[in-house]
Chain A
Amino acid sequence: MSNPISGFGLGLRSSHYHDFLLAPRGVDWLEIISENYLVDGGKPWHFLERIRRDYPMVMHGVSLSIGGTDPLDQTYLRQLKALQQRLEPAWLSDHLCWTGTDSLNLHDLLPLPYTEATLRHVVPRIAAVQDLLGRPLVLENVSSYVAYRADEMSEWEFVRELIHRSGCEWLLDVNNVYVSGINHGFDPRSYIEAIPAAAVRQIHLAGHETHPDYLIDTHDQPICPAVWALYGETLRRLGPTPTMIERDDHIPPLAELIAELDLAREQSQAIFAECRHAA
C-alpha cells in the first residue's frame, strides 16, 4: 500500500501558527489534534485553513475511546467526519485505549487488558468507525504504567491480532514502545518486530521523563538517544515511513523542532543509503 504522504512532519501547535504561514522548509506534512478543531470558528480555523493550503495533513484524535465500554459517541464521530470532509487528511488516527466510562472522559489514554474478550469487543467498534468514516482507522500504541493481571497475551501479540481481524492500520509510536518496554520489562525490539510492516502508516517520535521507577510519556523534551536507536531499528524493518515529532509541553521555537526533525531525516537517509549500498 502506498502512502499518500511521505517524509517528515510535525504536530501543528497554536504557538507555531504564524511560523507555518511562512511555510518554512524542512517540514513535509503536519498532524493536527482533531479535538482542537471541533469548534465553529475563530483563530483555530483561520490559521488551519491557511496552513492547510501549504501542507498535507493527517488528523490525530485523543477521545475516540475505541476500547471503551460506553457506546461509541455518535455526535463526536459525526464531528470527526465533518472535519475529515473539510480538511481532506491523508488519514485519521486515534489510540488503542479507553478514555473513560459511564459517560465520563478522563482525558487520558488508558491501556486495555490484552485478552481475547477485549479483541472481540474492540474489533466490531473499529469496523463501525471505519464504516462511518469510509476509510481504515489508524490506531496508535499508548505508553502505559500498569499491566493487568487479566492479560492473556503481550501487547504486541494483541496489536498484531487486532490488525489482522479488523483491517485497521497502525501509527507506531516508537517512544511509547520504549517507555512501556522499560516500565514493564519487555524488549522494545520484540514489539517492533511483531507489528505487521504493511499496516504501519506513520511513526511518532517524542521525548519522555525519566523517574526512578518509571519513564513517563510527557512530550516535553527532545527525543532521547535510546529512542533514536530504536527508531533506526524500526526504519530498517519497515522501510521509509512517514515520521513526525510530537511536542505538547515546553514547546520550543519552531526552528528547534525542525532541527530535531532533521535528525530523523538524516538518520533515515543514512539507513537507506546503507541499505542500497549493501544491496
Chain B
Amino acid sequence: MTTLGRLQQRFQSAILAGDRTPGLFIDEENDRRNGVAIYQQAYRARLAGALRDNYPVVHRSMGDEAFAALADAYIAASPSHFRSIRWFGDTLADFLAGSPAHLPHPALADLARMDWALRGAFDAADAPVLTSAEVGRLRAEQWPTQRFTPLPSLRLVELAWRIEPIWKALDEDPDAQTTAPVFDPHWLLVWRPGLDCLWRSADADEAKALQTLQQGASFAECCAQIADSAASDPAATAIDYLRRWLADGLLAKAQR
C-alpha cells in the first residue's frame, strides 16, 4: 500500500463515517475550516438525490423526512460500487424488505421493485416491436420451432401486494390519498416498446411463460410449460397470451 493509497483510504473512511481525519489536512483543527464536512455532506446529498431519482414513487409514498432517513441508512449499508450513479440503489427493495425500521408497510418494498423495474426499462436496449401482421405471415412449418423473443426492456417482477393502484395514483399526483394495498401475490410486467415505459399486472402462469421465452425457449416449449401449469385449456391460453403480447407490443422483431 502506497502513501497515496493510505491517504485515500483515510479520506474515504472519513467521508463514509462522518469522522475527522487527524493529521491529513491543513487547518483541520479549525472548526470553521472543516472542509471535510463539505465532502461528507455532498456525498450523502448526491447519493440521496440519486435514490430520489430512481425511486420517485417510494419517495412520494414515504414523504421527504422518512425517505431521507431511509436514504441515510441505505447509503451507510450499501455504498456505491458503480461508475455511473444512475445504478445506485439497485438493492433498495431487498434492503427495505429486511429493514422493518424503515418499512411502515411491507408493500413499500414492492413499490420499490416497481420503481426500479421502470427505471431499468427506461434506458434498456431498444428493439423493433413484432407486429400481429408479421406473425400472421408465418408459414405452418415455421410454428414448431418458432421463437418469440420479448423486448430487451421487459422486466418480470414478482409482487406480494397489489400496489399498482397506489403507484399509479402517486405517479399522477404526489399528494394523492391512498389506502393500504391488499396482499395478493402476482406479477408485474414492465416493458418499453417505444420511448415510454408501459406496465401491467399478470398472473404467475403468464409471467412464467414469458420467462421461458426470455430464456430462449421456442413457442412450442413455451406451450408445453403452459400445459404443465394449471391452465384448463392450454392451447387457448397460449393463443390468448400471444395475442395479448402482440397487442401490448411486448415482443421483439427477430434479428436477421
Residues of A within 8 A of B (CB): 35-36, 38-46, 63, 68-69, 73, 75-76, 79, 98, 100-108, 110, 112-113, 115, 117-118, 121, 144-151, 183, 212-214, 216
Contacts and interface: CB of A to CB of B under 8 A. Distances in A.
Contact of B80 (A75, A107, A214): A107
Given A76-B83, A104-B81, A216-B38, A148 B25 contact: yes
B26 interface: yes
9 contacts: A42-B153, A101-B12, A105-B80, A105-B81, A106-B43, A107-B43, A146-B25, A148-B24, A214-B35
Interface stretch (B59-67, B102-110, B119-127, B175-183): B119-127
A213 B178 CA distance: 45
A83 B126 CA distance: 16
B2 A117 contact: yes
A68 B25 CA distance: 18
Given A39-B124, A100-B80, A150-B7, 14 more contacts: A38-B83, A40-B123, A41-B125, A42-B121, A42-B153, A75-B83, A100-B12, A105-B85, A106-B15, A107-B85, A112-B4, A147-B25, A149-B23, A183-B35
A101 B47 CA distance: 17
B173 interface: no
Given A46-B195, A147-B26, A149-B25, A103 B81 contact: yes
B146 interface: no
A42 B195 contact: yes
Interface in B21-50: 23-28, 32-33, 35-36, 38-39, 42-43, 46-47, 50
Contacts of A150: 3, 7
A184 to B, nearest CB: 8
B132 interface: no
B23 A145 contact: no
Contacts of B84: 35-36, 38, 63
Interface of B: 2-5, 7-9, 11-12, 15-16, 23-28, 32-33, 35-36, 38-39, 42-43, 46-47, 50, 79-86, 88, 121-126, 152-153, 192, 195
Contacts of A118: 4
Contacts, number: 134
A214 B47 CA distance: 22
A45 B123 CA distance: 8
Nearest to A122: B4
Which 9 A/B pairs are nearest by Cβ-Cβ distance?
A: A145-B35, A41-B126, A40-B125, A39-B123, A42-B123, A69-B5, A146-B35, A35-B84, A145-B38
B35 A41 contact: no
Nearest to B127: A41
B24 A149 contact: yes
B4 A63 contact: no
Nearest to B46: A107
A144 B25 CA distance: 12
A41 B88 CA distance: 18
Contacts of A75: 83
Contacts of A213: 32-33
Nearest to B27: A147
Residue among A38, A41, A68, A216 facing the most chain B CB atoms (10 A cut-off): A41
Contacts of A45: 123, 126
Contacts of A147: 25-27
Nearest to B30: A213
Contact of A69 (B2, B25, B88, B126): B2
Contacts of B12: 100-102, 104, 106
A110 B11 contact: yes
Nearest to A113: B7
Nearest to A104: B79
Contacts of B123: 39-45
A104 B83 contact: no
Contacts of A40: 123-126, 152
Contacts of A68: 8
A173 to B, nearest CB: 17
A118 B32 CA distance: 28
A108 B40 CA distance: 10
B85 A113 contact: no
Contacts of B32: 212-213
A118 B5 CA distance: 10
B79 A39 contact: no
Contacts of A98: 8
Nearest to A144: B35
Given A39-B86, A42-B122, A105-B80, A121 B2 contact: yes
B16 to A, nearest CB: 8
A243 B72 CA distance: 38
Nearest to A112: B4
A73 B81 contact: no
B86 A36 contact: yes
* Residue from B15, B23, B27, B38 with most neighbouring chain A CB atoms (10 Å): B38
Contacts of B33: 213
